[in-house]
Structure 1
Amino acid sequence: MNPTVDICYEVDRLADIGKTRARVRFVAVTTLGELGALCSTRHGHTELRVPPLPGEPLSDAGAGDAMVAALTLRLAAGDDPVEACALGLAAAAAAVLTPDTEPFDREVAEALYPAVRIKRQAGS
């Protein structure tokens, strides 16, 4: 089983569903490393902060890939872009807690997700 290939198949499957659910046509995400990310849509900008890690960082290998995969998966499913970005940050944080290039633990990402701090900027 290859998690990357599995995610790609799931994105393809959900893309067809997402076409009918899409609420946003424009999404830009600027990553800010350990600080989090900035999610921009036609409605404005939202700052997202990484939750405090429950352990020492072990490796940043694959953190960006984990974020992009989770973000893409949730956008394809029709989720709100800010919520999709929050899950992406949680996945990236879970990847940082994983040694070397091992796949991150999905349960860790899901546990970190509620702790992502979301701050909508004025006018957003």
Structure 2
Amino acid sequence: MNPAIDVAYEADRVFHTRKIRARQEHYDPGGGGINVARVIARLGGTARAYYLSGGATGCALDGLLDQHVLVRSRIPIRGDTRVSTSIYERETGKEFRVVPRGPELTAEEWQAALTHLEGARSDFLVASGSLPPGVPDDFYSRVQQLAQRHDMRLILDTSGNALRQAVSGGGLYLIKPSIGELRQLVDRALTQERDIAAAAQEIVDSGRSQYVAVTMGRDGAILASGAGTWRLPAVAVETRSAVGAGDSFLAAMVFALGCERDPLEAFRYAIAAGAAAVLTPGTDLCHREDVERLLSLVPSMAAAFDGA
């Protein structure tokens, strides 16, 4: 719903006021859903990207998607597609990110997105990313109702009120909150991993989502399901950029589930993909060869919490 052109630069140092001379310049089509589609294609799968696009920047986004040879369905809007920027400071290894809110959508425009999705037919429907201004908080709840009508399993990766409303409606297949997003969702501090696991399991036990995958950055991830709750550590790799790590995690898990892999094996594959994304600079995402190589470093058995 809120895609972007992702621009990445590298600079020796970042200063205020003075011009910053960039050494590298790279453009990618971005936004949660588009990133997921890009990774699924890299892993050998097929995905159709539904996205909103408008203005001169929207035309540029369309062209970038074609360069990545993605199957796409464009929904036109009047506003300009946003441009997100990341700057990697070589001297410190820090990354600076500027992410706009996105264009204001009219009711006709966000309703057109639902109309386009009525024609979608697949095993999985992934809804990922923030909602732009003008879109109601219950939009993803409406997408869930649409998915149910067409026997599609909805996988959701969003935050704030959009996540809260969708989860309260129930019937989701998988949600992938970060630890911060889960804390906001349940309105609890969740300072211990056991508390995180319990909060995720509560969502599963209540029937609101069949699976809950909580990403915790360098601390790995937790997966809650009807069979129990497990934790896997992150793979230690050199960090080039954190951009797209969560999207790579989610895409790999969806791809593995689509290949009918066991959920725990899909969880391992997702951990490897998240680490592989961290290896790539700027707005690049994981690459299949890195995912397959790092998979051997992910424990074959996940740590189970009591009751799992």
Structure with the greater alpha carbon radius of gyration? 2
Instruction: Tell me if both proteins adopt one fold, taking TM over 0.5 as the criterion.
Output: yes
Aligned-pair distance for 1:108?
A: 1.1
- Indicate whether 1:109 and 2:145 are aligned: no
Q: Which residue in 1 is equivalent to 2:222?
A: 38
Structure 1 distance, partners of 2:256, 2:276, is: 17
Matches within 5 A, 1:39-78: 39-53=223-237, 56-78=238-260
Q: What percentage of residue pairs aligned between the two structures are identical?
A: 32
Q: 1:62 to 1:6 in 2, by over 3 A?
A: closer
Question: 5+ residue gaps in structure 1?
Answer: 20-24
Q: Which residue in 1 is equivalent to 2:305?
A: 121
The residue identity in structure 2 corresponding to 1:78 is E
1:17-53 C-alpha deviation (Å, 9 max, x unpaired): xx9xxxxx62110111111110111011000111222
- Indicate whether 1:79 and 2:187 are aligned: no
Q: Which residue in 1 is equivalent to 2:177?
A: none
TM-score (norm 1): 0.77
Structure 2 distance, partners of 1:14, 1:79, is: 17
The residue identity in structure 2 corresponding to 1:122 is D
Give the 4+ runs in structure 1 shifted more than 6 A: none
1:1-27 C-alpha deviation (Å, 9 max, x unpaired): x883573762579838xx9xxxxx621
Q: 1:57 to 1:6 in 2, by over 3 A?
A: closer
Q: 1:101 to 1:72 in 2, by over 3 A?
A: same
* Counterpart contact for 1:15–1:77, Cα < 8 Å: no
The structure with the greater share of residues assigned to helix is 1
- Indicate whether 1:7 and 2:115 are aligned: no
Q: 1:101 to 1:6 in 2, by over 3 A?
A: closer
Q: Which residue in 2 is equivalent to 1:28?
A: 212
Q: Which residue in 2 is equivalent to 1:22?
A: none
Aligned-pair distance for 1:85?
A: 1.3
Q: How many residues align?
A: 114
Q: 1:50 to 1:6 in 2, by over 3 A?
A: closer
Q: 1:77 to 1:35 in 2, by over 3 A?
A: same
* Counterpart contact for 1:11–1:76, Cα < 8 Å: no
Across the aligned residues of Structure 1 and Structure 2, the Cα RMSD in angstroms comes to 2.7
1:56-82 C-alpha deviation (Å, 9 max, x unpaired): 200000101101100111112221112
Aligned-pair distance for 1:109?
A: 1.1
Structure of greater relative contact order (alpha carbons < 8 Å, 6+ residues apart)? 1
Aligned-pair distance for 1:104?
A: 2.2
TM-score (norm 2): 0.33
Aligned-pair distance for 1:121?
A: 2.4
